[in-house]
Chains A and B, each alone.
Chain A
Amino acid sequence: MLADEPTLARLMAATQAGDKSACNVLLSEVGMWLERYFNRRVPPHAIDDLVQDVLLAVYTKRATWDPSRPFLPWLAAIARYRWVDHLRKVYKHDSKELFEEDGIADSEEDVVMARVSLETLFGQLPETQASAIQLVKIDGLSIREASAQTGQSESMVKVNIHRGLKKLSAMVEKAD
């Protein structure tokens, strides 16, 4: 069972005061909370890296939590910031990582859910942008092949991918 808000807040206050055992328990509990948080947001193979990334952020930025405010919204804000950062990196450097199955996926449901949430985001893009991203960034077609398949010029395919990815990032960032 995950720790509740008052317990986490108490642990965090003790962590800010330099309590080692409270810090250990807090980071372990936060790790489990983050696993759930990212479970439906990123592919299974990326969860642990992201969890560790956020744990490090929680540790280094612990002075920014105000004990008079609830802990979980603070944690969720940091987790979302890291998640958006992760998405940006994935889109920029290796778009396949976000969409492909792990091969040794722990849970088929997780993969399906990750796809479903992306489909939902795609549903908010214009058809031309969604299809350009789908064909080039997910199906792995070249710009020329995507251009032939969609009837868009090659430069339009590039423009639609650029604009679509920018909108996706903005949508993810704005989602509370």
Chain B
Amino acid sequence: MPTPNSRTRADLIATLTEDIAPVQRIRPMRGGLSIGAATLVAGLISIVFFGFWTGMISGEASGYFWITNGLLAMLGGGSAAAVVASALPRVGQRSNAAIWGAAMIGVLPIAGLLSILSERGAQPVIWHWECSAYALAAGSLVAIAAVAFLRRGAPVSLEHAGWMTGVASGALGSLAYGITCPLDTASHTGIVHIAPVAVAALIGRVAVPPLIRW
């Protein structure tokens, strides 16, 4: 004989079944593409506002410029992949690529500080913290795309998804703005262009989980 609980559950199942409709599967590729597109748009907007830095193609850009932006691209790609993966429920599989990427990029501020110490008195240190603000603004576009994808999915580890969204938006935002910035010293690229990653990670950890809870 059915118990009240089994009766209620049967009613629920009957109601849900009645309304069933085909669904379009959520594909990780689509999440990756939308984050990639947001990065591209952020880059284009940066170029519109700040102009394309021709030093990149004329060979004027220093090694620091390429190393910093290359690592930002790697970290952004790895953490964006982690964001996309976290939108789909699964147990016991979590890539540490983004964590190792973040650790690697942590070398740059140290290199920047060392270069400040060694350059003291030789040339002024270029701070220009507005570069960090522009990078964060560019990263907000990436964050919007990431959160939109996470909301369509079913993230089961909200804190992890929050951290990864923050790291991805910070790294890709800094990359998108960074290609327009002609200040390519070790101190400027290593500190001012890396700081947005740490700031965005913290913002992501705090702000994203309430937005993607389901």
Contact = CB atoms under 8 A, between A and B. Distances in A.
Interface of A: 15-20, 23-24, 27-28, 31, 48, 51-52, 55-57, 59, 61-67, 69, 73-74, 76-78, 80-81, 173, 176
10 A-B pairs closest in CB distance: A77-B89, A18-B22, A81-B156, A61-B154, A63-B23, A48-B5, A176-B92, A27-B13, A24-B17, A64-B154
B21 interface: yes
A77 B17 contact: no
Contacts of A176: 91-92
Given A48-B9, A55-B12, A23 B20 contact: yes
Contacts of B17: 20, 23-24, 27
12 contacts: A16-B22, A20-B17, A23-B20, A24-B17, A31-B13, A61-B214, A63-B23, A65-B88, A80-B91, A173-B157, A176-B91, A176-B92
B22 A17 contact: yes
Nearest to A75: B89
A19 B88 CA distance: 22
A51 B9 CA distance: 9
A24 B14 contact: yes
Query: Which secondary structure dominates chain A's binding surface?
Result: helix
Given A52-B9, A55-B13, A173-B157, A61 B89 contact: yes
B90 interface: yes
A41 to B, nearest CB: 15
Contacts of A173: 157
Nearest to B93: A73
Contacts of B20: 15, 18-20, 23
A92 B109 CA distance: 41
A73 B92 CA distance: 9
Nearest to B160: A173
A51 B18 CA distance: 19
A11 to B, nearest CB: 12
Nearest to B20: A23
Contacts, number: 87
A78 B156 contact: yes
Interface string B1-35: 00001001110111011101111111000000000
Contact of A77 (B26, B156, B214): B156
A78 B89 contact: yes
A55 B89 contact: no
B77 interface: no
Contacts of B5: 48
Interface string B159-170: 000000000000
B108 interface: no
Nearest to B21: A18
Nearest to B156: A81
B87 interface: yes
B13 A78 contact: no
Interface string B62-97: 000000000000000000000000011111100000
B153 interface: yes
A77 B190 CA distance: 39
A95 to B, nearest CB: 21
A63 B24 contact: yes
Contacts of B9: 31, 48, 51-52, 55
A66 B25 contact: yes
Nearest to B92: A176
Given A48-B5, A52-B8, A63 B25 contact: yes
Most chain B CB inside 10 Å of its own CB: which residue of A24, A31, A62, A77: A77
Given A19-B20, A66-B25, A173-B157, 4 more contacts: A51-B9, A55-B12, A56-B12, A61-B154
